[in-house]
Structure 1
Amino acid sequence: MTVNQNIIRLFAASTLLASTGAFAHGYITTPGTEARGYLCDKQPENSNCNELRGNSQSLEALKGFPASGPADSQIASAGTPYKVLDEQSPLRWVKKEIESGPMEIHWTFTANHRTAKFHYYMTKQNWNPSAALTRDSFELEPFCEVDYNDQVPPMALSHMCNIPERSGYQIMLAVWDVADTANAFYNVVDLTFDDETPEGWKHGGTIIPSSDLKAGDLVRTRVFANGSEVSGLATRLEITQDTQAYVWSYALATKINAEQSEIQSGQVNTQAEFVPVYGSNKIFVSKASDITSVEIQIEQLPPEHDVTITGVEGSYEIQDGSVTINFEASATGDTMLVNATLYDHGGAPLAYEHAVVEDNASHSFAITPVANVQADHHILKLISSPKNGGDNVHENFDIMFKEPSTGEYDYSFPEGLGSYVEGTKVFQPKNGQIYQCKAFPYSGWCNIWSESASQYEPGVGSNSSDAWDEVN
């Protein structure tokens, strides 16, 4: 039987292909210091929080923190139904190592609103990590505040903040104030300012519970010393029944600790002992050994069935009060019943279509809302059920509906790339907006673009505002 081998390099982010529903717009994705909800969802290192899968963008509440916003004891969840985020103890959540001083903070948006500001808070040095988060847990003077002047940020944004002096376990609260609604988005980030590695050991890797596994799958360590793999030090965990990600991570860490003397795994307790947890487990190697790193390899059987969706755009212009969304669904491994529902930002269904897609065949969908639609964020949710039984396949698409553009432009991006000069106007089909190339010397950046280097892409690149102005 063919085996799909996924070599997961430790410290790298993993991606979930299925999600379950979200009607909101952004989260902290700073490499190495990702938000708590993000580590339950897109990069699932946290455990026992599966309800966040596909919903880590959804932590939205009234803006105005600390005077308003989510209630005390509900700050981490922003008062949403995802109450699991409000659980709090010293070992409940994966903590990311950090140092005080300048740090670039990254946001990723699934729907980018006009923005008033970003503001950041840190827990007090003597806060109680065993108690629910309240305003009294934090220094209520933001240590960093970034005004955005009611502009629309690109889909990926970063800015610099100066992290205050702290030690031990701390929590950063990041707040994104939306300009054109009454709400803000709230993310907490679990941090540690101390190196918890016991004396005589060094950090060699991390077990990241990236996905659930099925019977017949295999997880094993790959141990490297001086650039060469040492197969005799590998630990193998055969999956004999369907197993959730946090369970096999705990089982692998436990087995490593039982089999190996120069490799240990888990979180470090106050007695400097390695304690496996149901979630992300660090891997430590003895300094007295020649071991340099440990990687995790997951070998998975091919999926029994799947559905691939192509053709969904990120934004659509409203024409005569309506929008038509055309896309194609392709089934493999089984005949699939594909259900497609379009929701508005508030979660109200606007249109529905379903079709039976035969194995190794495709079907074209055309979703047209049955009522007049508004320019706003929408979501297309697909649930596909296999004819012969098994798990459903879920996929969501965040979509922006835009009013028809009335402005004139010179090119539809990336048409004309290389000829953009000061004053050139381009239409960005990804968000329906028009952008104008800035004056010299910034105009030189307008022509810098490729699929692998898109930071100056108008409206959506991380450095778009350096080169382009949005035309209202």
Structure 2
Amino acid sequence: MAGVAVGALALTFSTSVPMASAHGWTNAPISRAKHCQATPSLNCGNIQWEPQSVEGPKGFPNGGPADGKICSAGIGAFAQLDDQRNGSWPTNWLSSGATYTFKWHFTASHSTTDFRYYITKNGWSQNSPLTRGALELTPFLTVPYSGRPPADIAHSGKLPSGKTGRHMILSVWTIADTGNAFYQCSDVNF
């Protein structure tokens, strides 16, 4: 009887807690998810414990999370990432047109297709949740990757020219062997 109770408890626990086997976040530019973990006073909710878990359907921009829910990957528990907070998110300072080293940290790795980087259009609405209409839908940098990345990876690329003021960079890590990708939104100033 005790064995049945323990088995039932284990089944309940395993089906009620999301399983996380491999995830990651951007350290450069620092993403909203990572800022939330590093600064709990930002009051971000559950993402402060799981900056690596912003995982949603792959195929962006044709597929992926719905408009307005891109930064949270459509995960309701991470909806604070979609809130623009009237421009109060911490920003990363960048130089338009410069070469930049993008950095990811992984808590474990997945077989990877690529890393893609998108940026908001000039004149985008900084006070509205991120939509495809606010983004330049052709990535300014695509880094093909075959295999599983190490715990930390960096790759360099050129930032778009002609950017000034506040923008957002959407970093997408596309997984090869699942239907998902990881999404990281980083607030930047040029």
**TM superposition score normalised by structure 2:** 0.85
The alpha-carbon distance between structure 1 residues 45 and 189, as it changes in their structure 2 partners (threshold 3 A), is farther
> What's the CA shift string for 1:339-363, capped at 9, x where partnerless?
xxxxxxxxxxxxxxxxxxxxxxxxx
The aligned runs of 1:217-256 (5 Å cut-off) are none
CA–CA distance in structure 2, aligned partners of residues 133 and 85 of structure 1: 10
For residues 113-161 of structure 1, what are the alpha-carbon distances to aligned partners after superposition, in whole Å with 9 as ceiling and x for unaligned?
A: 1100010000001101011110001000000000013x11111100011
In structure 2, the residue matched to 1:172 is: 169
Moved more, 91-100 or 65-74: 91-100
**Consecutive unaligned residues in structure 1, runs of 5 or more:** 1-20, 194-472
Q: In the alignment, what sits opposite 1:63?
A: 58
2:67 is matched with 72
- Deviation of 1:90 after TM superposition, in Å, equals 3.7
In structure 2, distance between residues paired with 1:128 and 1:78: 19
> Do structure 1's residue 27 and structure 2's residue 33 form an aligned pair?
no
Distance in structure 2 (CA, Å) of the matches to 1:45 and 1:76? 18
Higher relative contact order (CA 8 A, sep 6+): 2
Q: What SS does the aligned partner of 1:64 have?
A: coil
More strand by share: 1
- Distance of 2:43 and 2:102 partners within structure 1: 26
1:250-293 superposed Cα distances (whole Å, 9 cap, x missing partner): xxxxxxxxxxxxxxxxxxxxxxxxxxxxxxxxxxxxxxxxxxxx
Aligned to 1:53: 48
SS of the residue corresponding to residue 80 of structure 2 reads helix
Structure 1 counterpart of 2:10: none
Inter-partner Cα distance in structure 1 for 2:80 and 2:128: 14
| CA-to-aligned-CA distance 1:387-414 (integer Å, 9 cap, x gap) | xxxxxxxxxxxxxxxxxxxxxxxxxxxx
Deviation at 1:91, TM superposition (A): 2.5
Residues 45 and 80, structure 2, Cα contact 8 Å, conserved in 1 = no
Q: Which consecutive segments of 4 or more residues in structure 1 shift more than 6 A?
A: none
Partner residue in 1 for 2:13? none
Shift of 1:44: 1.6
Write out per-residue CA displacement over residues 420-445 of structure 1, whole angstroms, 9 at most, x where no aligned residue: xxxxxxxxxxxxxxxxxxxxxxxxxx
Superposed CA deviations along residues 303-346 of structure 1, whole A, max 9, x for unmatched, are xxxxxxxxxxxxxxxxxxxxxxxxxxxxxxxxxxxxxxxxxxxx
Match of 1:97 among 93, 116, 137: 93
* Contact kept in structure 2, 1:118 and 1:175, CA below 8 Å: yes
Q: Which amino acid aligns with 2:115?
A: F
| AA aligned opposite 1:58 | S
Structure holding more helix per residue: 2
Query: Whose Rg is larger?
Result: 1
Show the 5 A alignment for 1:136-175.
Answer: 136-149=133-146, 151-165=147-161, 166-175=163-172
Q: Identity, % of aligned pairs? A: 38
Report SS of the residue matched to 1:108: strand
For 1:184, what is the secondary structure of its paired residue?
A: strand
CA displacement, residues 157-180 of structure 1 (integer Å, 9 cap, x when unaligned)? 000111112111100000000011
Residues 57 and 179, structure 2, Cα contact 8 Å, conserved in 1: yes
Correspondences of 1:225-304 after superposition (within 5 Å): none
* Distance in 1, Cα, partners of 2:34 & 2:85: 18
**Post-superposition offset of 1:96:** 1.6
- Taking the aligned partners of 1:22 and 1:46, their CA distance within structure 2 comes to 26
- What residue in structure 2 maps to residue 83 of structure 1? 79
SS at match of 1:93: coil
Q: Distance in 1 between matches of 2:148 and 2:47?
A: 26
Cα offset for 1:50?
3.5
Structure 2 unpaired stretches of 5+:
1-17
Q: Distance in 2 between matches of 1:66 and 1:54?
A: 27
For 1:29, the aligned partner's letter is N
Question: What secondary structure is seen at the aligned counterpart in 2 of 1:143?
Answer: strand
Give, as a single letter, the amino acid of the residue that structure 2 aligns with 1:169: R
Residue in 1 that maps onto 2:15 = none
CA distance in 2, matches of 1:22, 1:133: 27
Number of aligned positions between the proteins: 170
